[in-house]
Amino acid sequence: MIKPEALLFPTPAGLYCPVGDFYVDPVRPVDRALITHGHSDHARSGHGRVLTTRQTLDIMALRYGVDFAGSEQAIDFGETIHLNGVEIGFYPAGHVLGSAQIAIEHAGVRIVVSGDYKRRPDATCAAFVPVPCDVFITEATFGLPVFHHPDPALEIGKLLASLEQFPQRSHLIGAYALGKAQRVISLIRQGGYDKPIYIHGALAKLCDYYSSQGIELGELRPATIENGGASQFEGAVVIGPPSAFNDRWARRFNDPLAIFASGWMMVRQRAKQRGVELPLVISDHCDWPELIETIGELKPGAVWVTHGREEALVRWCELNGIAAKPLHLVGYEDEGD
Amino acid sequence: MRAFSTLLDRLVLTPSRNGKLKLLSDYFASVPDPDRGYALGVLAGTLDLKAVKPALLKELVLERMDPVLFGYSYDYVGDLAETIALVWDQDRGEKAERAEPSLGEVVALLQSLGRTQVRGAVRDLLDTLDPSGRFAFLKLVTGGLRIGVSARLAKQALADMSGKDIVEIETLWHGLQPPYESLFAWLEGGADKPVLATPAIFHSVMLSNPVGDSDLTGLDPSDYAAEWKWDGIRVQLSRHRDTCRLYSRSGDDISGAFPDIVSAANFDGVIDGELLVGGTARSNQPTRTFSDLQQRLNRKSVTAKMLSDYPVFIRAYDILFTGERDVRGLNYDERRALLSNIVDAAPHDRFDLSPLIPFSSWDELDRLRHAPPDPVIEGVMIKRRDSIYQAGRAKGPWFKWKKQPLNVDAVLMYAQRGHGKRSSYYSDFTFGVWMAMPEGGDQLVPVGKAYFGFTDQELEVLDKYVRNNTIERFGPVRSIRAEPDHGFVVEVAFEGLNRSGRHKSGVAMRFPRIARLRTDKLPRDADRLDTLLHMLPA
């Protein structure tokens, strides 16, 4: 039996498997990369060969152009392939469309790299599948007991109530372009809102792609002023990437009400510091109970913690008799959600 | 509770006044009695609730949670009430199938609790409420809502909701109590205007503006009277036959803590003055310092020993009513004549009249304010002789002109992250000055702690310095590099200095703040402890 630390270990370029000669979510260009999902800190351009799900390959091509890698190979959920005697399997992670956990098995040891994941139902991607393993590599973005994400339907209820209370104000929702934006739109539709939703240009391609994959987003319109003045946004729902809110772009809206859809919105001062008036606690990551329930369910021999608040999750594992250590990977955005 | 906690959540994050008014008036219009009235009491600070100590809350949360994990959480969130609201593990408690209590039910429960029942009741409520409700509840019982809503704004929302004039609401205000059912009934047109049952109500006080750079130029000194500004607390004594009440300047009823003064009043009417410890001028006893007065503040009741060790009196400044006659429309000189008669006939050990300062030019008054005849004076007040008594802070009739603060240059020694809005900044600073060591050489000794005085830009500079010059960490505290040739010097301003056995330096500053960053100075140029010791009152 091979030692897990010899099968997969952190390097400056990312997690590396020497037997299979590949990296997982490398942060620098490498010869062979396995990618968990399409967020830009995990999926970068410039690798020699890329192995990931069809949807993640499509998303990378949309973001970086078709020549984002030397060559690409798609793998289905549940399918296994072999690289230099290492067995590789991809399983749904429930994070965003196309997101996967990667199981790496060799000489009797199986390590699962979960990437980013969540356990809540999400109409915009396949649900997380627990994969038994010896070592579970988990994220810890919300790895503190303060994070208990509420039911997203309740959060959307707050938005709908505000639209009634402030019918003149444009409701500007900040949401990351891949995953969060489409999930928020989908949740708003599930909440019964059927008017057009206006989107920032940076969201257009990804929203089109989600629609092409059969995800219902309803009528989306570009949030441009060319056709019709600023009055068309009165009382409207507008979605854009969070960075756009500090841009000139946001000035076109009438008395805008700043909203941010993120797990970070759980903490009031976070919302206050960003000038958010209506926080929507909607996350594509596990909250604390989901993290510890997943570890409790998988009962792995060891837990390695990648990015986020490693120390609290490691502490919890110790208290519960599970070997755990932080991996201290660099290059992944702690703030991303 | 849900409507109330949702309201608080929105208010905290709504910066605009109009947005807040809309949220408040919608809430008052849609929520039934008595909940809305209790909410009004909470927002306006008139609802007196049993306080729960933070230590008890911590104990409760640690019954169920690892202290290390709690520590990480608190460190991250930066606010105790919010941390507990978020980490509270509902599932391990009895699963909350019960209906969530209303705000009125929570208030009634809190008011009925005996001392020994608090722990269980708080635990139970935390189990029943959702995170937002827990936050609202914890803020209620620990005090300090800090949501940027003043009593005035809440009253404006009542005016908006009902179309009534805010002045009418303010006149009624101090005669009514939560849950304000009669007030709401009148506002909604379902009842007549409430008739105040309590005499001796509070009337809004008149406030002054600080003298600005050229405020006094062009003003004729003979149009103004000057009085000393005493370092006590501003109070209003209001008496009507058998009822006598003492109010703070914001209208809090503090009668319970000062039975000595309340029972000594022998006149009907409303007077304005400074509450001080010691003896009156006419009993030839000295006026004692603010730290003596502090012994009597913030108490619900008071012991006989307290009453004899720290007797209080009122140094009268002004009069609003004599008997039932409203004299606020008279001018300063006329009011002062009335006040003088009343004080003359009042017990000599409990009341005296704030003396006038004779002066003929602003320069002369400027000299006097820097060399006052009594250490308990913190400056002068300048009042226009023909001015009426006008509630609020109108610019012109009254000025305050304080002594210059004391200053020292000190070296930053320790820094701690702030709380609340500043939880990501090192914003609480301990600073020190040089002290000669018996074995030779100099050492920095802490002399105080300050967490304000600087601008946001200066805070960025300080925070960056702390992060780049940390030599050691003790929990949330960082020890900062402070050597004769490497360190950060700040000019600290403070209002006074007391001897203190609790500090190694032997001194304690009153009201210290960071007045300026002295990036032009090296730590070796900072002040020495001797300088401070010379500032101590004899």
What's the order of all strands across the beta sheet hosting B377-384? Answer: B209-210, B398-402, B377-384, B224-230
Is A286's pLDDT higher than 70?
Answer: yes
Q: Answer yes or no: is pLDDT of B527 > 60.
A: yes
CB A58 within 8 A of CB A99: no
Q: Is A296 on the interface with B (CB under 8 A)?
A: no
Between A171-185, A303-317, B96-110, the lowest mean confidence (pLDDT) is in B96-110
Given an 8 Å threshold on Cβ–Cβ distance, is A269 in contact with B77?
Answer: yes
Q: Which of B140, B85, B133, B83 is nearest to B110 (CA)?
A: B140
Task: Write down the residue that tokens 């008669």 correspond to.
Answer: B341
Closest Cα in chain B to A312: B69
User: Strand A80-83 to strand A86-92: parallel, antiparallel, or no bridges (unpaired)?
Assistant: antiparallel
Chain A residues in contact with B70 (beta carbon < 8 A): 145
Cβ-defined contact of A147 to B70 (cutoff 8 Å) = no
Other Cβ atoms less than 10 A from the Cβ of B514: the count is 23
Q: Over the stretch A207-238, which tens digit does the pLDDT of each residue have?
A: 999 999 999 999 999 998 776 677 889 999 99
Q: How far does chain B reach from its first CA to its final CA, in angstroms?
A: 55
From the candidates A266, A269, A314, which should be mutated to test the interface with B, based on the most B CB atoms within 10 A? A269
What is the three-class DSSP state of B18?
helix
Query: What pLDDT does residue B93 have?
Result: 43
Kindly determine whether residue B13 and residue A267, on different chains, have CB atoms separated by under 8 Å.
no
**CA neighbor of A35 nearest in space, from A73, A78, A84:** A73
Helices first, then strands: H and E counts in chain A: 8, 19
Q: Say how far apart CA A150 and CA A113 lie, in whole Å.
A: 26
Q: Who wins on pLDDT, A164 or A307?
A: A164
Instruction: Identify all chain A residues contacting B66, using CB atoms and an 8 Å cutoff.
Output: 315-316, 319
Interface test with A, best of B62, B72, B75, B90 (most A CBs within 10 A): B72
| CA nearest neighbour of B386 among B223, B226, B272, B273 | B223
A147: closest CA of chain B, how far (Å): 7
Buried b (16+ CB within 10 A) or exposed e, B371-394: ebeeebbbbbbbbbeebbbeeeee
B34: preceding bond cis by omega (within 30 degrees): yes
**CA B2, CA B132: separation in Å to the nearest integer?**
8
pLDDT one-digit tens code per residue, A317-329: 999 999 999 998 8
- What is the pLDDT averaged over residues B35-50? 90
Amino acid at residue number B297:
L
- What is the model's pLDDT at position B420? 56
- Residues pairing with A258 in the sheet: A172
- How confident is the model over A61-89, as a mean pLDDT? 96
Q: In the structure, what pLDDT confidence band is assigned to residue A246 with cuts at 50, 70 and 90?
A: low
Search chain B and give the residue with CA nearest A274: B13
Structure tokens belonging to residue B348:
């000599």
Q: Which of A264, A242, A245 is nearest to A253 (CA)?
A: A245
Q: In this structure, how many other beta carbons lie within 10 angstroms of the beta carbon of residue A216?
A: 12
Q: What is the pLDDT of residues A143-170, one digit of tens each?
A: 999 999 999 999 999 999 999 999 999 9
Distance of CA B405 to the CA centre of its chain: 20
The 10s digit of each residue's pLDDT in B291-321 is 788 889 877 789 999 999 999 999 999 999 9
| pLDDT confidence of residue B90 | 63
Residue pair B109/B118 in contact by the 8 Å Cβ criterion = no
CA distances, B473 to each of A2, B103, B273, B417, B480 (Å) = 40, 43, 48, 12, 9
Residues from chain A contacting residue B424 (CB–CB below 8 Å): 273
Stated as kind and residue range, the H or E segment containing A292 is helix A288-298
* Record: contact B76-A309, CB cut-off 8 A: yes
Query: Nearest residue on chain B to A161, judged by CA atoms?
Result: B6
Q: Who's near A33: CB < 8 A, 6+ residues apart? A: A22, A23, A24, A25, A26, A47, A48, A49, A50, A51, A69
CB atoms within 10 A of CB B72: 21
Residue among B26, B130, B421 whose CB faces A269 most closely: B421
Is B15 near chain A, with CB under 8 Å? yes
- In the structure, what pLDDT confidence band is assigned to residue A254 with cuts at 50, 70 and 90? confident
Q: Chain B partners of A166 at a C-beta cutoff of 8 Å?
A: 19, 22
What's the gap in Å between the CA of B129 and the closest CA on chain A?
A: 13
Instruction: Compute CA distances A296 → A102, A130, A132, A289, A321, whole Å.
Output: 19, 11, 11, 10, 11
What residue of B is the nearest CA neighbor of A257? B14
pLDDT for the residue numbered B419 = 65
| Lowest-confidence segment of A43-47, A72-76, A286-290, B239-243 by average pLDDT | B239-243
| Phi, psi of A35, deg, nearest 5 | -115, 130
Q: Is B244 helix (H, G, I), strand (E, B) or coil?
A: strand
Cβ contact, residue pair A145, B13, below 8 Å: no
Model confidence at A334, pLDDT cuts 50, 70, 90, reads: low
Short-list A202, A181, A185, A197, CA closest to A247: A202
Q: What does the pLDDT look like over B185-228, one tens digit per residue?
A: 999 998 998 877 656 778 888 989 888 878 898 899 999 999 99
Average pLDDT score, chain B: 89
Judged by phi (left if over 0) then psi (alpha if -120 to 50, else beta), residue A25 lies in: left
Chain B: give the shortest CA distance to residue A312, in Å. Answer: 6
Of B73, B421, B424, the CB nearest to A145: B73
What span, in angstroms and rounded, lies between the C-alpha atoms of B432 and B444? 6
**CA R_g for chain A:** 20
- In this predicted model, which residue has the larger pLDDT, A6 or A275? A6
CB pairs under 8 A between A and B: 76
Hey, what are A223's tokens?
Answer: 């949030």
* ipTM of the complex, rounded to two decimals: 0.93
Among chain B residues, the shortest Cα distance to A269 is held by B421
Q: What is the pLDDT of residues B135-164, one digit of tens each?
A: 999 999 987 777 778 888 999 999 999 999
Please spell the DSSP secondary structure of B54-102, one letter per residue. HHHHHHHHHTTS-HHHHHHHHHHH--HHHHHHHH--TTTSS---SPPPP
Nearest to B13 among A144, A272, A319 (CB): A272
A191 touches B: beta carbon within 8 Å: no
| Nearest beta carbon to residue B87 from set A146, A165, A273 | A146
pLDDT in the model for residue B260? 95
> Residue B92: pLDDT above 50?
no
pLDDT at A201 over 80: yes
Distance (Å, whole) CA B397 – CA B384: 5
Q: Which residue from B6, B13, B86 is facing A146, i.e. has the nearest CB?
A: B86
* Stronger pLDDT, B271 or B500, i.e. the higher one: B271
List the one residue out of B248, B260, B385 whose CA is nearest residue B311.
B260
CA atoms within 13 A on the CB side of B334: 13
Beta strands in B258-306 (DSSP E): 269-277
Question: Which amino acid does the sequence have at B276?
Answer: L
CA distance B286 to B294: 17
Q: Do A315 and B421 touch (CB under 8 A)?
A: no
Other C-beta atoms lying within 10 Å of the C-beta of residue A183: 25
Written as six digits, the tokens of A8 are: 């997969």
- The minimal CB distance from B14 to the residues A277, A289, A312 is found for A277
Give all strands (DSSP E) within B420-501, no chain letters. Answer: 426-436, 442-450, 470-474, 477-480, 489-494, 496-499
Give whole-number Cα distances, A224 to A199, A235, A255, in Å: 9, 16, 16
CB contact under 8 A, A312 and B15: no
**DSSP class of B267:** S
Residues B201 and B174: beta-carbon distance below 8 Å? yes
| Residue A276 CB coordination number (10 Å) | 23
From the CB of residue B189, how many other CB atoms can be counted at a distance below 10 Å?
Answer: 9
Least confident span in A51-60, A117-126, A284-293, B475-484: B475-484
Residue A337's pLDDT band (cuts 50, 70, 90)? low
**Which pLDDT value is given to residue A333?**
66
Higher pLDDT, B393 or B526: B526
Dmax over CA atoms of chain A, in Å, equals 68
d(CA A223, nearest CA chain B) in Å: 25
CA distance A75 to B220: 90
pTM: 0.69
Half-sphere exposure of A194 (CA within 13 A, CB side): 1
Picking from A304, A285, A283, the residue whose alpha carbon sits closest to that of residue A295 is A304
Tell me if B414 sits within 8 A of B479, measured CB to CB: yes
